[in-house]
Structure 1
């Protein structure tokens, strides 16, 4: 299950859509794949301590986790998880029950899928079963609302989410976040404006722009905006940011995935262009995530003023023998707002342009 959005304490209620599709016949999945997803979601939480000693669902994700709750969450909120049992509307002889469970799509092959309407990019790797969601369009700001840093929501504002990590808690270093620092204040991302998304064979992209929002003074700097593009290929995430209208003396920070010290995961970040040092510094998040009591987050820093382009390569993997990110790219060219990346082995090139945003990727 993916740790993204509101009402996460409902846990396996997310599988209700899959079950209802199977019951009504409105689904692209086979009955066996549908049951694999529904039963797998239920087992995922039950096998990881979601039930209390009294056999009840408590507030949180696996066990208790306050940062996973919303202000409206109450003692009975976790029981919205019962929506998953819409599958029980299927009679005993229904194929949902009689068909043999089949692998879910992510268990069969690597997948990259762009969803242009919500501005999302899904990236899945079969080897470790991790699914990553790159967010370039779904926020928690209503159309009539203004943007304030006080309403920053870690479950919507981060650049990426996954099935093996959760966002860090408010007050801790933010994971998967680009922050503009000016006048002693750091920005958050609130309203997200999609700029497009697409995918090809084994790769995909999504893009958006936002106005950095600051606390403790004027919420915005006139003319300041950030345009962001994510390109997913295999386990690699190419993240490109174009900062426009930054005051002199401004700085940037960029973070990667938050992982715990005992988790069999590697969170890597490598600066390709526009950073003080290509190697990140690990920063501790003492309140951790829904997966771990405390976490490390890799962080890059750099300067920005006026218009500047910053390129990062990120990765989250359970492969202990994964090659370092410094070996994944052979060449990076940044010229007048155009970014061109030659991937290792000479097999692929990615070209990103702004005004308007266009992404081209070729495999040889």
Structure 2
């Protein structure tokens, strides 16, 4: 398997560890540089939806997230061990300085080209701007007036063209900041560009520290990692760090810091105690950039509200990096990053992902901007606030964090569940009309897991759709043309009872038909009673004249390999579940008419039809629908964590509605999952599987009893 020495074998605890990791990540790029160093093209043949020139600029610019700091460290720190790490032609840090000169010289054969509207080069200017801000003596060409003029001219093009109305506007802000602070452009020349962009970015602000990636509305309801670590909060903290001394921006810098504090107070919930982030939304090939917010918070000197002190920030960041260091399949055999999440996966990729794109992951190394004298490097890591690991330091964080294991976050419409047995979120309310690949999978599913990830489609057949954690529906007579849940509306939140937190939404699969499905998701308060479970109660409205339909409600996709690396689907399916007290760690798959369960090296995933366990409204009792559970063998490489997966589902078949009136059906699905790290719970799988939630439907509310 691919293994990157210096990263995969790195404890990632100290500043020197991080320097060594950064060197290991960028060193393989050296052999793919152009002769003058302005372009990098990896040895793969895939392409992005923009020019090859812009793609090779990506290869040059994105490593600057660490190159600028490594050059600064090389120039200022005498430590011989660090100097040894940073020297030599195999790394060749100085080539990035020469590359910047060549890439911005219109007379050079390696010139990056003039900009056009919505040009990818605008994105790559962000990293160049940061390199100028953090290490101007290397990158601003103070002693070369021609190179300095070329660089300023090339960067100023970002003000002359339209750009997408989303996080890109922050790149315009940072570029102009670098022009002022590092290239001596008068603030008056560019202030209007900074102010106009910041005003638009302010319109994206939602509440509680969250911004959407563009204006929240019917066309776009996105609050994902771009809201924090990829762009919005990340860039805002960089602005606050470098612009607070500029006249007229002191108040805005403080506003950005205040928002970041509020954002941080809940953002930690997206990370499991293991360090794994809950994957959600687009651009997940940026991988450990999910942790970049914590790096930016420390770099900017952000004082967070207690008890999110520097030790907790340090732990959240370094555990996240360590989790990624344990994923051996994120590299090509030459040591370069591949496109994918936990392994190479082009189904996950967006059309803007070139082979060089994944190096935005290096945003998490912004922490290298803190000098060796910073107290950050000497403080101890604090464990995850909800960690129950025996190896974690037995210190309790101060009161005030809000350590509920279930938390509803209003801006992203997420219920975050941080239980010992499983870290995941329940979602309703996000979607986008933007042409992102797999957008239904990346924003429209019911649940997203730090352990099981989620699946992306390879086609329209059920196995290709890989409908984990979502509803899929097909009409009789139209073949295997499945529709996955998408674009929910009528979002409602509330507490189902003292036992859990709920969120409700409605979905219409086809505009031409009046079928609608209202779903209530319930996260039971965790404890031994219903540990590992969440509930989905569906009310499906089928108008008169609707043809026969088939509907599938999917659980979490789980690795189909055993701990001994055998394929579970090569064994027979058990039709009777083992009794409580049987061998709890036996791996395999089981399915009867009511439920399905898979136990593998990935943990445990199951579903069960709970309709008969919930008392339905009297008017709908005669329309109670009983489902049949099966296990789908998903297409390979659909899941972003495991390349071979099985998906337990409950399916419902509805006859054509030829009656005089409309019909309403209720069905309730119990979804069960335990992550592989939850050793205590894996010892009593069958007991937990048999301890199933019960409840009743009151109006449109779901009550657990």
TM score, norm. by length of structure 1: 0.80
Q: Identify if the C-alpha distance between structure 1 residues 63 and 303 changes in structure 2 by more than 3 Å, giving closer, same or farther.
A: closer
Change (3 A) 1:51 1:202: farther
Q: Give the counterpart of 1:63 among 332, 343, 346.
A: 343
Tell me, yes or no, if the aligned pair for 1:15 and 1:38 is still in contact at 8 Å.
yes
Structure 1 stretch displaced more, 103-112 or 29-38: 103-112
Give 1:227 deviation, angstroms. 1.5
Match of 1:190 in 2: 486
In the alignment, which of 531, 551, 555 is matched to residue 252 of structure 1?
551
Q: Secondary structure at 2:319's aligned position in 1?
A: helix
Selected match of 1:178 from 468, 471, 492: 471
Do the aligned partners of 1:2 and 1:161 also contact (CA within 8 Å) in 2? Answer: yes
> Does the CA contact (< 8 Å) of 2:554 and 2:647 recur in 1?
yes
Deviation at 1:120?
Answer: 0.9
1:105-136 deviations in Å (ceiling 9; x for gaps)? 2325771111122211111222x4x3112110
- What number of residue pairs does the alignment pair up? 327
Mapping of residues 148-297 of structure 1, within 5 Å: 153-170=440-457, 171=459, 172=464, 173-183=466-476, 184=478, 185-193=481-489, 195-198=491-494, 203-213=500-510, 220-233=511-524, 234=526, 235-246=532-543, 247=546, 249-262=548-561, 263-273=601-611, 274-277=624-627, 280-288=629-637, 289-297=639-647
- Change in CA separation of 1:197 and 1:106 when aligned onto 2, cut-off 3 Å: farther
Paired residues for 1:1-364 under 5 Å = 1-23=277-299, 24-28=301-305, 29-49=308-328, 50-108=330-388, 111-126=405-420, 128=421, 130-142=422-434, 153-170=440-457, 171=459, 172=464, 173-183=466-476, 184=478, 185-193=481-489, 195-198=491-494, 203-213=500-510, 220-233=511-524, 234=526, 235-246=532-543, 247=546, 249-262=548-561, 263-273=601-611, 274-277=624-627, 280-288=629-637, 289-304=639-654, 306-318=663-675, 319-320=681-682, 321-322=684-685, 323-329=687-693, 331-334=694-697, 337-342=700-705
CA–CA separation in structure 1 for the residues paired with 2:428 and 2:361 = 28
Alpha-carbon distance in structure 2 between the residues aligned to 1:303 and 1:326? 26
CA–CA separation in structure 2 for the residues paired with 1:335 and 1:121: 22
Quote how far apart the aligned CAs of 1:268 are: 1.1
Higher relative contact order (CA 8 A, sep 6+): 1
The verdict on how the C-alpha distance between 1:313 and 1:253 changes in structure 2, with shifts beyond 3 A counting, is: same
Cα distance in 2 between the residues matched to 1:95 and 1:114: 34
1:139-187 deviations in Å (ceiling 9; x for gaps): 2325xx9xx9x96532222211111113223132311111233243432
SS at match of 1:314: strand
2:533 and 2:298 mapped to 1: Cα distance? Answer: 33
| Deviations 1:277-299, CA, capped at 9 Å, x for gaps | 46x21110131422222111011
Q: CA deviation digits over 1:80-116, x for unaligned, max 9?
A: 0111112223333434322100111232577111112
Distance 1:339 1:174, change over 3 A: same
Q: Give SS of 2:534's match.
A: strand
The answer to which of 109-118 and 331-340 deviates more is 331-340
Query: 309-318 vs 245-254, which deviates more?
Result: 245-254
Q: Distance in 2 between matches of 1:204 and 1:27?
A: 27
Shift, 1:332, TM fit: 3.8
1:121·1:197 contact (CA, 8 Å) conserved in 2?
Answer: no
Contact 2:467–2:484 (Cα < 8 Å) also in 1: no
SS of alignment partner, residue 432 of structure 2: coil
> Residue 552 of structure 2: SS of its match in structure 1?
strand
Q: Flag the 1:97–1:110 CA change in 2: closer, same or farther, 3 A.
A: same
Distance 1:334 1:317 in 2: 27
User: Is the alpha carbon distance of 1:89 and 1:207 closer, same or farther for their aligned partners in structure 2, counting shifts above 3 Å?
Assistant: farther
Measured in 2, the distance between the counterparts of 1:20 and 1:202 equals: 37
User: C-alpha offsets along residues 340-364 of structure 1, whole Å, 9 cap, x if unaligned?
Assistant: 432xxxxxxxxxxxxxxxxxxxxxx
Give unmatched runs, 5+ long, in structure 1: 214-219, 343-364
Instruction: Specify every segment of 5 or more residues in structure 2 that has no aligned partner in the other structure, as ranges.
Output: 1-276, 389-402, 527-531, 562-600, 612-623, 658-662, 676-680
Instruction: Return 173-182 or 9-18, whichever deviates more.
Output: 173-182
Report how far residue 31 of structure 1 moved. 1.0
Query: Alignment partner of 2:559: what SS?
Result: coil
Q: CA deviation at 1:242?
A: 1.5
By percentage of residues, which structure has more helix? 2
**Distance in 2 separating the partners of 1:226 and 1:237:** 18
TM-superposition CA deviations, 1:301-359 (whole Å, max 9, x none): 12446322221111210332223544323x443465454432xxxxxxxxxxxxxxxxx
